[in-house]
Structure 1
Amino acid sequence: LSENSEYDEAKNEQGKLYSRIAELEEILQHVVIVDESNAPTNVVTIGCKVTVADKNGNTMPVYRIVGSQESDPMNGIISEESPFGRALIGAKEGDTVTVEAPSGAIVYTVQKIER
């Protein structure tokens, strides 16, 4: 068996699966359910959909703010831990937020907050 490459590959794959299972168990042990019914409707919080405009007034796509495990930036689902999410959390409609990016600070204006 020690010379069987398929066996070695299967053992490696099994190790990866056990590692992923442990990771998911860790996530589930620390999960927090956010009750949006008591959240303020005029402030950006987790679960909000936010429409922003750049400094030229161009409206950007609608972004949804979620926890880090749910984020999908390519589809407009932004983590509250990302620089963009961090800048938006706590902002109100009409507020200007500054996002620190590698290319420099980018300024956005919050246009609309939805639940």
Structure 2
Amino acid sequence: MTQYPMTAQGAEMLRVELNELKSVRRPQIIASIAEAREHGDLKENAEYHAAREQQSFCEGRIQDIEAKLSNAQIIDVTKMENTGKIIFGTTVTILNCDTDEEITYRIVGDDEADIKNKLISVNSPIARGLIGKMVDDVANIQTPAGVIEFEIIDVQYI
């Protein structure tokens, strides 16, 4: 059984989505199917087929979330002592040594990753290059543009 690393916030987001799917979406879809059945012939009933497709997607997503939550290894870095070492769940501020650009990322699980919100997957090249490093270390990270040198400025367990 594979364990999936997940932050406490990521697990909570999945629980909220699961509750929404089960208590709101599923009943709406069932009502749509019942309404479409009342229109008669199901072979050429586009509303019925669309509702069944939505139902299939919804049930698949419910199964996916339940599987992820049952195999989740929830890691809450706020309950750990900050040793300055970059681990899963930490928030890291790095400096691009070439451009002097400072950027802050939080290392999260695959399902939580959202680059627009500065959440990067633990499996991304940047996160893999940073894991295990400490404040003031330099990390050479292979990117599509080539190797980039980053200096680790700050590591927070928040």
Q: Is this a same-fold pair by TM over 0.5?
A: yes
Matches within 5 A, 1:67-82: 67-82=109-124
2:68 corresponds in structure 1 to 27
Determine the structure 2 residue equivalent to 1:88: 130
Q: Over aligned residue pairs, what C-alpha RMSD do you find?
A: 1.6
* Greater Rg by CA: 2
Q: Counterparts of 2:56 and 2:136 in 1: how far apart (Å)?
A: 51
Count of aligned pairs between the two proteins: 115
Residues 125 and 142 in structure 2, CA contact (< 8 A), matched pair in contact too: yes
Q: Residue in 2 aligned with 1:101?
A: 143
**Aligned equivalents of 1:97 and 1:61: distance in 2?**
14
- Structure 1 distance, partners of 2:89, 2:46, is 47
- Give 5+ residue unaligned stretches, structure 1: none
With over 3 angstroms needed to count, the CA separation of the structure-2 counterparts of 1:45 and 1:111, relative to structure 1, is: same
Identity, % of aligned positions = 32
Partner of 1:13: helix, strand, or coil?
helix
Cα deviation for residue 26 of structure 1 reads: 1.0
Query: How far is 1:64 from its partner?
Result: 1.2
Tell me which of 9, 14, 18 is aligned to 2:59: 18
State how far apart, in whole Å, the 2-side matches of 1:66 and 1:83 are: 13
Q: Return closer, same or farther for 1:10/1:35 CA change in 2, 3 Å cut-off.
A: closer
TM-score by length of 2: 0.67
The amino acid of 1:5's aligned partner reads A
TM-score w.r.t. the length of structure 1 is 0.89
